[in-house]
Amino acid sequence: MAHSRVIIFDTTLRDGEQSPGCSMNLEEKLRMARGLDRLGVDIIEAGFPIASEGDFEAVRSISKELRRPIIAGLARATRPDIERDWEALAEAARPRIHTFLATSDIHLEYKLKITREEALAQAREAVAFAKSLCDDVEFSPEDATRTDLDFLCAVVEAVIEAGATTVNIPDTVGYTTPREFTQIISTIHERVRGIERAVISVHCHNDLGLAVANSIAAIEAGARQVECTINGIGERAGNASLEEIVCALKVRADVMPYETAINTEELYPSSQLLTEITGAAVQPNKAIVGRNAFAHEAGIHQDGVIKNRLTYEIMTPQSVGVPDSRLVLGKHSGRHALGRRCEELGYEFSRRELDLVYRRFIALADEIKTVEDHHLTGIIREEMQKASAA
The tens digit of pLDDT for each residue in 229-286 reads 999 999 999 999 999 999 999 999 999 999 999 999 999 989 989 988 898 889 989 9
Predicted confidence at residue 324, as pLDDT, reads 62
Does the pLDDT of residue 67 top 70, yes or no?
Answer: yes
Does the pLDDT of residue 328 top 70, yes or no?
Answer: no
Q: How many residues does the chain have?
A: 390
326-327 and 7-10 beta bridge pairing: unpaired
8-state DSSP, 279: -
Does the pLDDT of residue 326 top 90, yes or no?
Answer: no
pLDDT bucket at 373, cuts 50 / 70 / 90: confident
Phi, psi for residue 138 in degrees, rounded to 5:
-115, 140
Closest CA to 72 of 140, 119, 5: 140
Say how far residue 294 (Cα) sits from the centre of its chain: 18
pLDDT in tens, 24-65: 999 999 999 999 999 999 999 999 999 999 999 999 999 999
| Residue 37 φ/ψ region, left for φ over 0, alpha for ψ in the -120 to 50 degree band, beta for the rest | alpha
pTM above 0.95, yes or no: no
Does the pLDDT of residue 349 top 90, yes or no?
Answer: no
- The alpha carbon dihedral of 175, 139, 72, 54 has a sign of negative
CA distances from 373 to 334, 350, 370, 380 (A): 16, 20, 10, 10
Top pLDDT among 295 and 220 is at: 220
Beta strand ranges found along 68-195 (DSSP E) = 70-76, 95-102, 137-142, 166-171
Predicted confidence at residue 317, as pLDDT, reads 83
The residues that bridge with 241 in the sheet, in sequence order, are: 229
Phi, psi for residue 256 in degrees, rounded to 5:
-125, 95
CA separation for the pair 90, 59 (Å, rounded): 10
Predicted confidence at residue 84, as pLDDT, reads 98
CB proximity list for 196: less than 8 A, separation 6 or greater: none
Phi, psi for residue 370 in degrees, rounded to 5:
-115, 125
Average pLDDT of 317-338? 77
Predicted confidence at residue 385, as pLDDT, reads 84
Predicted confidence at residue 308, as pLDDT, reads 75
pLDDT in tens, 221-234: 999 999 999 999 99
242-257 burial, b if ≥16 CB within 10 A, otherwise e? bbbbbbbbbeeeeebe
8-state DSSP, 283: P
Does the pLDDT of residue 202 top 60, yes or no?
Answer: yes
Top pLDDT among 264 and 336 is at: 264
Residue percentage of the chain with pLDDT more than 70: 95
Average pLDDT of 103-123? 98
Mean pLDDT computed over every residue of the chain: 92
> Amino acid identity of 167?
V
Predicted confidence at residue 366, as pLDDT, reads 86
8-state DSSP, 241: B
Q: What are the start-end ranges of the H helices in 134-227?
A: 149-161, 178-191, 211-220
pLDDT bucket at 384, cuts 50 / 70 / 90: confident
Predicted confidence at residue 53, as pLDDT, reads 96
CA separation for the pair 183, 180 (Å, rounded): 5
Predicted confidence at residue 325, as pLDDT, reads 55
pLDDT in tens, 137-164: 999 999 999 999 999 999 999 999 999 9
Q: Which CATH class is domain 4-278?
A: alpha beta
Predicted confidence at residue 294, as pLDDT, reads 80
Q: Which helix (H) or strand (E) holds 278?
A: helix 267-278
Beta strand ranges found along 87-131 (DSSP E) = 95-102
Q: Where are the domains of the chain?
A: 4-278, 295-389
